[in-house]
Amino acid sequence: MSDWPRPVVAFQIQAQDLEKQRAFYSEMFDWDITGVEGFPVLNIPPGKGPPEEGLSGTIVQADKPALTFFVQVADLAASLKKAEELGGKVILERLDIPNGPTIAQIEDPEGNPLPLVQM
């Protein structure tokens, strides 16, 4: 019997201040983040124009375990500037991956790492 690939279907951002994080991610990526009054979970709908072939991933050597998701942006320089304006921090400037995309990394206002990808 053949198995199936078990694709990644969702992600979660853990936050101490839900409204602060909602404001950051809503403005940063134009996400329509919604919630129910009094319920400590906010919903992020699927992105606009996800990769047709689906998500891919890597496993990398690191000093501590962590899970990370990457967000594609149209203009990396403008996105880094916007992240700082919204209270984020640039922790890795533009890096051109040989035979791959261009990436950079920010931290959101609560310090969560967030790589950005420009294809």
Q: State CA 32 to chain mean position distance.
A: 15
Q: Indicate the number of domains in the chain.
A: 1
> What does the pLDDT look like over 24-56, one tens digit per residue?
999 999 999 998 888 889 998 887 666 667 777
Going by C-beta distance under 8 Å and a sequence separation of 6 or more, which residues neighbour residue 52?
A: none
- Segments of the chain scoring below 50 in pLDDT: none
Q: State CA 117 to chain mean position distance.
A: 9
Domain membership flag for residue 12: no
Paired with 105 in beta bridges are 92, 115
Domain membership flag for residue 110: yes
Domain membership flag for residue 52: no
- Record the pTM: 0.85
Integer Cα distance of 28 and 8 in angstroms: 23
| 39: containing domain | 18-46+58-118
Domain membership flag for residue 89: yes
Domain membership flag for residue 51: no
Q: Residue 25: exposed, middle, or buried by beta-carbon count in 10 A (0-12, 13-18, 19+)?
A: buried
